[in-house]
Structure formats: structure tokens, C-alpha cells
Structure 1
């Protein structure tokens, strides 16, 4: 899959008139004005001649979030069964947590959100560790080295192509994903672990047919077993993240509270748009800031304001603090929301989990 170039910052691209913007989004200009008044899209700017222009940045974010399609489905969404309702026929919601920049607290967010969903919301949760560093595996209490000694199957064993072609395209995996699932010490929270072996699976996967859909096809067998599936993506936008996006219904993007981190979001927006253009109905559910210092510095405040301005209603205004305790909890193999439930970071993740469930519907 070839993705659009991400070298041009979104803010440097030319703007569109309200008529052109509405036509591109396949909505009316009245709807576009309503979206602006509701805060769904960044406000139009006025040129020196007084004409209103919507930035290319705002349009691309709307396309990546799937706002137009979701807006048309509002009435339908209100009629849907709530997520996690016992006995519901609704399949699991898959959320990929993505950022190609390291240090965004991506794994910390996955581990703590999973803890809240399982412990406090009583949901059936599966975490898929798609990073060869295996930090998520460690954060949920497992050592990749010990698991290897016990001949445990990893996500790499699931993704490696086997020899049997499938009628819908692609090949069967060497192993069934069910055989790789581990039960954590937290009731209702399971894990598909990772290890350094995942890096060895990249080249075989790149050369496989229908390579982008490998993880999606594996998870299809588990959707009725869980309420939520969280995918911890690697710090890159390569074949593994592509697989996660193809498997996901939604994307969550944690962003460090620094302006250089905000500027790098162009690539994520482009990749999500590319996957959507290929027919996968995935959208950016929310963008939230992490590693927010306390007290708040001027540069961090600017980063928070810029993220909120750029992503408008997609922005989740729940800053996650930068503490040593949260990192230590992951290293010790226990979500902070479990080991220190009253900590301010735990409360922030609790609020974030509530907002994620509200947006999922």
C-alpha cells in the first residue's frame, strides 16, 4: 500500500471556499455551517478580501474522522444496543491506539484504558500487542522471555502466512489467534502477547497476499467473544500499523504535550484517509494529550491549545499527566488504575475511558 506523502504540514496547504469544501465532503453548505457552529470542524478563516476559506488541514481531519458518514448515522447510532450489554449480539468494537512517534504514552494508555474497561466497566477486553518491544505484554504482567521458554504463541505466529489460500483472498495463518490468548490476573482482560520475534515477521508479511487484512481476518473469529479489542500499535506507520487500521473500527491518537509532536500528526491523518479511500470504514475517534507537565509550562499550554484548535470536536480535552508513577506501574506489570486507583493519572484515564465509550456509542 502506498500512502500519500506526509512531508507537507497540513497548515501549509491551501484553503477551500465553503462551496468547494461542502462538495468535497458531500454535504450541503448549511450542514457545513452547522458543523462549524457546533465545533465539529475548525472555523473558516477570512482572506484579505474577506472571503471565507476552510483549511485543507480541517478538511483532511474531517475525512480521517469519518464525520460525514457518522453524521448521517446519528439516528441509527442512538438505536443501537449499548456496548458491553450482556447477551447483546453486537460484536466487539476494535480500537487501534496509534502514534508513529515514540514517547507518546501509547502503551501506558492502552494498559490503563484496558484496566478501566475490565475492572470498572465489567467489559470483556482483549489487548493485542502489535509492537516488537512488547511493552504492553510486560505492562500486563508477562515476560516475553519467560513466555518464549514456555513455547507460548505470540502475535507474530498469528500474522505469519501459512500455506493454505483463502477464498476471500490471502492465506491462512500458521496458528489460530485463539491459541495465542493469555488470561491476565485481571478478570475479563485477555492479551495476545508480543516479542522481538515480531520484527522477523515483517518481511514475510509484506510479501504475503492481502497482507493489510491479515490481522483483521484473525480478529474476525474473536469479535463475538469480547466487547472491546484494543490494539497497541508500534511507533511506525508500516505494515503492522496498516494491519491494525484495517482491523479497527476506530483510532485513538495519544499526543505528547509538545508542539513538535503535534506537527507530526499529519502522517497519521494521511494514513487513515488512505485506508478509508481503499474502502475500510475506520475513523479517528479522538486525539488526546499525554505527558502533560504539572505545573503547566508555556510550551505545553501552546501544544494543548494547538491540538484542540486543529482537531476541533475530535479532540478529547482530558490531559494525561506526566508522572514517574504511571511509567513504573507499566514496568511492574500492573495498570495504574488497578495498583493506584486514587492517583490523579488513574482518574484521568477513568475520565478518558468514559469519553471513549460515549463516542463509540
Structure 2
């Protein structure tokens, strides 16, 4: 009753399986059920809740949409056996509508203003330690056979996602063997293709005959665009006539920027970086080089040369069920930002991005000696 009283007299109460909304004139109370639901409605981290997985009632969605005009404030609780545990005030982060029913809000993220200590977080979102984590056998195949390493990584990390049968869509031009194998490995596992950097489906590959995308430089003769950066819309290009071609970024600088590793190894790196960006169990922070060194000390360095994206010295480290990207040097930004004059270099600071196959993998990183910007463990 204390939780509902926060919404004031006459509040409209809407109850679903994992969440209740009490909507008053100036306050919405959100009461969550405890539990770990990475793809559903639940407390997701010490400072964030997610409302999704079941339609957000239209009354609640409208109230959230009109929050600025009405001055609506948000308060959170979690329903435990002994009573409701207060999460305190919440702040709206972002939302989007349902594709099937645009009148309904499909997702809403809320920030927990007063970050939960880990002992309370474990009450409302208990973590079950995994007994089965993928091994690191695929790393032993690097740097000699990155195509086999990629196949072995995907077979272990995405074992619960069935691979599609049949041949992938055909490309307008013949493609190098490493890219064709990548498409076979990724078939049915679309998250492997996508991320901030996306590998285009084979039938979406662009050649010099295509008109350039808005803001892009034209595709040089002899090259094809096989990927994009979704944030800044620059292209990832190769020469399809080469058996294992260089990878070039078009539109990042006045001249193409060349990755250090060829296509076969770049595709392995692409998948690993996407793991740190797209999995629900992730963490990120900006730290000093020494703090980053201590974090990755117990991990295994992926034996490939540093990537030039998302920063010019991006190195990858792995453990069982864990991938860490340490991004140092100038940030990749569109157009001439890679020149010595304009590149942004944070000196001793670097960005770390962590992705884990299971939430329990992140538990040893809860107190790393610095403050996480976001942390899903």
C-alpha cells in the first residue's frame, strides 16, 4: 500500500505479469517483480530499469510521453515477499514505439537516480552463476587461421541460436572467400552482422555503379562497400579481386583509412567488438591506461594487431564468456578527424567496453578500482 500511496488518491492502477503502474496526477509509481529478465521488464542494473517484453499499457505510455507537459515524476519499487523495496526516484532515459502497433510504447528505459548498492541489487535481480561457459580454444587458431577461429567462436558463443540452412543471398559481384564464409557462419544469427559497424548482407553490397549514400564519398572504382558505420554513415570497403583484401574506411578522412589486419582477421575483430556493444550483459567506462591494464591482466590478449576503430589503437582481450575492448588513441570521427591536426586524442585516457555471455561473468568486475559509466553485472 505504501508504494501505491505515492501516486496519490484516485490513481489509475494497471497490472501486468511483471510490473504494475499507478498513475496519479503528478506521480507514476512503477512496481516491478524481482528477477533477472535481460530481455524483459525488470531492474537491469544498479542504475537502470527497462520496461519491455510485454506491451506497455496505452495509459502508461501516454503519461510517459506527456511527462514534460504535465510535470510527471516517476518513483520505483520492487515487490519482495516481505514488502515493497523502494528504488527511489526514476528519470526517463529513452523509449520507442511498437512497429506492429504504433499507438503502444514497446520499450522505456528509466534511470535509478540513487544507484543501488550491490547487496540490494542482488535482492531484486539475483544473479545465478553459470556452470557452462565457452572455452577459449578458438584463440589458439589465431593469427594463423582467422576464418576457422571465427567459426569456432560463433559455434560456442551462439550455440543456442540455430544456423540457417541453404546458401546466403547472392552478391552483385564475386566475393572473397573469407567474406563468403562469414556469411555462412552468420546465417540465421543476424546479431553477428549488425552493431555500430554493420556488415551488409551479400545482396546489399554496393559497387561503384551505385549512387553514393547521403554524405558519402563515391565508391572508388575497383572497390565495393561491404559494411557501414551506423552512427556516422561511413563505408567499409574492400577490393573483391583480392583473395584476402585490405579493409578500408571510406568517408572517415579525406583519404581511405586502412585497417591493420586483412579482411579475414578483420571479420573476427568485427564480431568481437560487436559482442561488447550488443549483448545485454555489458559494461563501459573511460579509464586511465594503467586502470585498463589491471582490468585485462587476468585475460588473454587476442593475437591480432590493434583495430583502427572505434579508436586508432583498439586491442581485444578475452576470458571464458568474456570479451573486453580497450580503445586508446584518437577517436574515429567522420571526414578529416583522423588527421594529426583534428584527431581527438584523450592522452592517457582510454575507453573500455565489456561484453559477457552471462551476467555472472561480470561479477568479478564489480569493484575494479574505478567507476563504471554503465555496468550490467
TM-score calculated relative to the size of structure 1: 0.26
> Which structure dedicates a bigger proportion of its chain to strand?
2
- The structure, 1 or 2, with the larger RCO (C-alpha pairs under 8 Å, 6+ apart) is 1
Q: Which has the larger radius of gyration?
A: 2
State TM-score, norm by structure 2: 0.25
Which protein is richer in helix relative to its size?
Answer: 1
